[in-house]
Chain A
Amino acid sequence: MKIIKFHLNNKPVVVRADPSMRLLDLLRIHLHMTGVKEGCGEGACGACSVLVDGVCYDSCLTPVANIIGKHVVTIEGFRNTKQYRRIADAFADFGASQCGFCTPGMILNTYALLKKNPHPSEEEVRIALSGNLCRCTGYNAIVKAVLEVAEKGGEW
């Protein structure tokens, strides 16, 4: 066990944990951040995406040792932002969330994309979301929603 210090949703956190523990387990089991989902446990589905210093990580493959001193944002933190609202409204408008299991990860990856590239092409959107599996929507509504929110512009 080691002392692990990091920022979670803009608040400093100190935990005693095994450094090899999956960030996913720390978040879900110990910190009750159940908006972070486990879909595959091997980095193949993106449901467990969290922002680490502004880019998306698969929390199922991240040992907590790797987030020492970093800023981690989960959907629980991100949902209070204006950026979330803009993305979520577009998702709602197009019906981009069906069963909802992939959606928090999808939204965080959308944000990470738009922050880096506010005006992506359709192809760039598809590539940016290519690690987030969705079995309900065929990605159609999701891609349309992301393109729409990008077109509306604004600060990311």
Chain B
Amino acid sequence: MSHFKNSTVKIDNEEKMAGLALFTDDLPAKDFLWCRPLRSNIPCGRVRSVNVPKLPKGYYYVDAKDIVKENVVNIIFSDWPVFADRRVNYYGETIALLIGPDKQKLEELARMTQVNYDEEVPNFKLKKSGIHKEFKKGDLESVSNDYDYTLTETFETGYQEQVYLETQGMIMWLDGDKITIKASMQCPYYIKNAVVRTLGCDPSKVRVIQPAVGGAFGGKEHYPSMMAAQMATAIVKIKKPLKMIFDRDEDLMYTTKRHPSKTTYTGYVKNGKLVGVKAHVQLNGGAYKGCSGVVLARALIAVVDCYSIPNLEIEGDVYITNTMPTAAFRGFGSPQTIFAFEMFIEHIAKVAGLDPVEFKLKHLVKQGEVTAVNGKFHDPIILPELVEKAMEMSDFKHKYALYNKPGSNRGIGFSCFLHGCGFTGSGESTIINAQLKLTKDKNDIVHLYTSQVDFGQGNRTTLKKIVSDTLGIPEEQVTHEAPDTDHTLSTGPTAASRTIIIVGYLCEKAAKHLKEIWKPGVEQEWIEPYVGPDYIHWDEDTMQGDAYPGYAWGVNVVEVSFDPVTYQVKVEGCWSTYDVGHAIDDRIVVGQADGGLAQAIGYGYLENMEVAEGRFRQKTLSDYIIPTAVDLPMMETELIDNLFAYGASGAKGCGELTFVGGAPALGHAIEMAINKNIYKIPANPEYLMEVMENEDH
């Protein structure tokens, strides 16, 4: 019996529950040598020399001198070296790998290895811009001289760590002269391309296979490329099978996090309308740019969330600091600006003496309107319906009136938001060029090949279901194995909420074509290239045009109580409505909704990660706090269909959408409970104490 009308049990469900699924560290790896990174213990400086102790037989030291071709990790902007070469730019940067059979011995060797530095003064401030972007809409000048109210405010968001339950790990061995890799990952082709680039080898000499993956959330989008490039350099030198598994403390301290941000808005209200906004978005990119430019682009495109503001002047910078590089994490820049703008639009409404709820509703974007970057919202928008339903589910209006008074210590807030699905702009057709292969064997079993990684989202099941539904055959007649680059064409990375809107659409199209040519009992193959909507045009340099193939939408309502003795917040209720186009499988989409919102709530008030002298202070899961089962209430979610013309059965994306609105809905609720404005997340008790004690808030 299922509680979801259109849901099937996930392909890998039973093996995961029964402990049969093999994650990277579970794979048989007898005689594999351990790789132990030797890391920088200063944030910035020249490496004068490394004194490596005499290594026992069977132990190896691999560093930048062993690089075969290029000492860069292939990420969008490739400035991050595989091994630090003569200088280090952040605490924890990998200088070398110590390799050998005994982990204890490797620890001793690491302790005996002495790195001599010429230390330099590190920079931790947002002052050196590495990437700058700006754009305008309308004519801000015309409204900045003619307004009834104006307000300038700055909002800050902190680091966030993914805390996938399975830490980063990789094994690598030689199969003849072919490098074979299994790892905890999101993007098999990213890993493959990173190895090919650093070694300068033929792509046919690298094979990447996905084992079970225990969560990722963006954290395994780029970092595994780093590990792969390091280990590939080593395997070329020593020709032995290798294994590298991070302990939790290493994963917390030395892998990528969400970008901390600081966003300043100035808004102008005229005749009860927000007629203009000027904004500066500042992201801390850490020591290397990597994917930060694209993160900034997403942050800027979402700079006024799902609200229609005619005049904008927007700029943003990624700052280079001597800290751990920041990279992909569910939402990819938009949670930062959506939090900031949601808070700002309510604050400016209050300054203008207007009801913040009505003010927001009055500014919701409509179909046909111009986006922040002068593109067009081509498709139908059902935000008012989503709002109405969410308010009904949460009894919003009644509670709002009840709690909205000083001393109530109780609050309720709501956020409206959008998420652009797929890669920014025309990236799908210009950068990724996904190709999907569908074959049919003599027994009429259909085999689906994608490079999408199922790290818990259920996409292996969803994509398979699209194929079987389209072909009109039972699900058992379709296989969809985890990706293996030797058998799978690249359907692109598992990122950017593109899996369903792009790859799902490809699955549907390929299956339709296979159906047309279907001959029973005959082996057949169909390869489907991605062709997006032809009306999508995007100029990356000017940040102008249609930023995404399609948008998914949502509304979150969060209710909290507040303890004035300890300044602690308790989340009392969460209600959400989403337009993901159409849910192929309700249970899977609701699972994303629950998990995304939980992670966003943690981001909003619990998860605190600070840097002191370039090092993260929270090094364990006792210190970096994520929500437990008692920190969250039962969450309710409703999905409302709004079919997308370029999606499988009308489906858009949902992975990131469910994250982006949680923190501001929580933020609004907290503001009501404490009767003060907040400007920062996580809104932890330490910060709320400051707010309560400070008369200026």
Contact = CB atoms under 8 A, between A and B. Distances in A.
Nearest to B635: A140
Given A34-B22, A40-B248, A135-B215, A100 B629 contact: no
B17 A100 contact: yes
A130 B22 CA distance: 25
Given A98-B457, A100-B212, A141-B594, A134 B630 contact: no
A50 to B, nearest CB: 11
Contacts of B22: 34
A99 B217 CA distance: 11
A131 B622 CA distance: 11
Interface in A38-93: 38-42, 44-45, 47, 74-76, 79, 84, 88, 91-93
Interface stretch (B158-166, B231-239, B333-341): B158-166
Contacts of B542: none
B contact face: mostly helix, strand, loop, or mixed: loop
A135 B630 contact: no
Contact of A42 (B213, B597, B620): B620
A123 B21 CA distance: 31
A44 B163 CA distance: 12
B591 A137 contact: yes
A149 interface: no
Contact of B632 (A95, A102, A139): A139
B104 to A, nearest CB: 12
A4 B1 CA distance: 45
Interface stretch (B6-14, B142-150, B556-564): B6-14
B98 interface: no
B20 A35 contact: yes
A contact face: mostly helix, strand, loop, or mixed: loop
B212 to A, nearest CB: 7
B634 interface: yes
Contact of B17 (A104, A125, A135, A140): A104
A48 to B, nearest CB: 11
Interface string A95-107: 1011111111001
Given A45-B621, A137-B591, A99 B164 contact: yes
Contact of B587 (A75, A95, A133, A138): A95
Interface string B665-682: 000000000000000000
A interface bracket (residues with beta carbon within 8 Å of B): 35 or more
Contacts of B164: 99, 101, 135
B349 to A, nearest CB: 30
B interface bracket (residues with beta carbon within 8 Å of A): 35 or more
Contacts of B249: 41
Contacts of A101: 23, 164-166, 214-215
Contacts of B457: 98
Interface string A114-133: 00000000110111011111
Contacts of B20: 35, 79
B549 interface: no
Given A45-B165, A99-B215, A138 B19 contact: no
Interface in B546-598: 587-588, 590-591, 594-598
A95 B628 contact: no
A126 to B, nearest CB: 4
Contact of B14 (A74, A92, A104, A131): A92
Given A88-B14, A127-B630, A137-B595, A94 B3 contact: yes
B630 A126 contact: yes
Interface of B: 1-4, 7, 9-10, 12-23, 25-26, 162-167, 212-215, 217, 247-249, 455-458, 587-588, 590-591, 594-599, 620-622, 626-630, 632, 634-635
10 contacts: A39-B167, A44-B620, A76-B19, A92-B14, A93-B3, A104-B19, A133-B163, A133-B165, A136-B591, A138-B596
Nearest 4 CB-CB pairings of A with B: A35-B19, A100-B16, A138-B598, A99-B456
Given A37-B166, A42-B622, A75-B18, 7 more contacts: A34-B22, A36-B19, A42-B621, A95-B10, A99-B16, A136-B215, A136-B595
Interface of A: 28, 34-42, 44-45, 47, 74-76, 79, 84, 88, 91-95, 97-104, 107, 122-123, 125-127, 129-144
